[in-house]
């Protein structure tokens, strides 16, 4: 079963350069690796360094479609780069069933932060908060000209809330320790990719439940088991997310 690494981040953040570096210095020689790139992402000069590349297409609520029918067949490792102009939460939600359907195992989730873009647009902190909620590793890229205080404040925002993910710097498209980045050890706050977490919910409120207990004279209390939703994946009855995030395209165009 191949390890599949999910790469989050905005378009233009240097994610492909990071993936190329991870393949070159973090994957054992001889292991076959495939990289998935969204069909709407423009071609890049770094693409030849990625080796086998498969384009994937976003189907909206229909999920993810790839060029090949068996996208993970015959590979030991894969990197799935999200569409950096679409909502990352929607793509994460669709990625889990796609991974299960194609027989892959989640390696890690990486979030590549365009620090220059985030510093220029304070509103994007909420967008990156959503990504980092799901991430095992946060890679701080595009740091040229970014104030050291901003970098410290950005990291401390999450460390002070005891986020378990690791923060690492990207320099010229490379990370310090690719093997550490690729170690398939979960460090994410979200439990979406873990075993289903269930919560017991009483049918009635506490007062009614106490009355029912008295009437039942020790009879077993009936509870309903429901799946506990991830806070970013939870929806209102209208279908909208409980926690909405900014539209990244507005800030990419304003860059």
Nearest to 198 by CA among 224, 161, 237: 224
DSSP assignment of 129-160: HHHHHH-SEEEEE--TT--HHHHHHHHHHHHT
What sign results for the dihedral spanned by CA atoms 137, 138, 144, 148? negative
φ, ψ at 183 (rounded to 5°): -60, 120
pLDDT for the residue numbered 224: 59
Residues 45-100 pLDDT 10s: 999 999 999 999 999 888 999 988 899 999 999 999 999 999 999 999 999 999 99
- Other beta carbons within 10 angstroms of residue 129's beta carbon come to 16
pLDDT band at 220 (very low <50, low <70, confident <90, very high): low
Residues 168-208 pLDDT 10s: 999 999 999 999 999 999 999 999 999 765 544 444 444 44
Does the pLDDT of residue 133 top 80, yes or no? yes
Beta bridge pairs of residue 79 = 5, 35
* 111, 115, 118, 122: CA torsion to nearest 10: 120
Domains contained in the chain, CATH given: 3-192 (3.40.50.300), 198-227 (no CATH)
- The percent helix, strand, coil of the chain (3-state, each to 5) is 35, 25, 40
What the block records as the tokens of 93 is 């939600």
Three-state DSSP at 220 gives coil
pLDDT for the residue numbered 68: 87
């Amino acid at each position: 079963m191949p390890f599949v690494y999910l790469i989050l981040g905005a378009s233009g953040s240097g994610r492909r350069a990071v993936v190329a570096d991870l393949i070159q210095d973090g994957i054992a020689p001889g292991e076959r690796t495939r990289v998935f790139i969204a069909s709407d992402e423009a071609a890049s000069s770094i693409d030849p360094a990625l080796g086998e590349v498969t384009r994937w297409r976003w189907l909206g609520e229909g999920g993810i479609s790839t060029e090949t029918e068996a996208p993970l067949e015959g590979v030991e490792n894969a990197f799935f780069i999200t569409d950096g102009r679409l909502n990352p939460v929607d793509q994460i939600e669709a990625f889990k069933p796609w991974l299960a359907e194609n027989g892959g195992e989640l390696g890690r989730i990486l979030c590549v932060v365009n620090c220059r873009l985030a510093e220029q647009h304070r509103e994007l902190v909420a967008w990156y908060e959503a990504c980092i909620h799901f991430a095992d590793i946060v890679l701080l890229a595009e740091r040229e000209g970014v104030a050291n205080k901003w970098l410290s404040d950005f990291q401390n925002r999450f460390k002070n809330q005891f986020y378990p993910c690791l923060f690492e710097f990207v320099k010229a498209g490379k990370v310090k320790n690719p093997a550490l980045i690729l170690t398939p050890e979960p460090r994410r706050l979200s439990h979406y990719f873990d075993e289903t977490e269930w919560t017991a919910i009483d049918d009635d409120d506490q007062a009614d439940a106490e009355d029912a207990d008295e009437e039942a004279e020790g009879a077993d209390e009936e509870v309903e088991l429901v799946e506990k939703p991830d806070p970013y994946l939870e929806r209102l009855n209208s279908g909208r997310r409980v926690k909405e995030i900014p539209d990244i395209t507005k800030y990419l165009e304003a860059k």
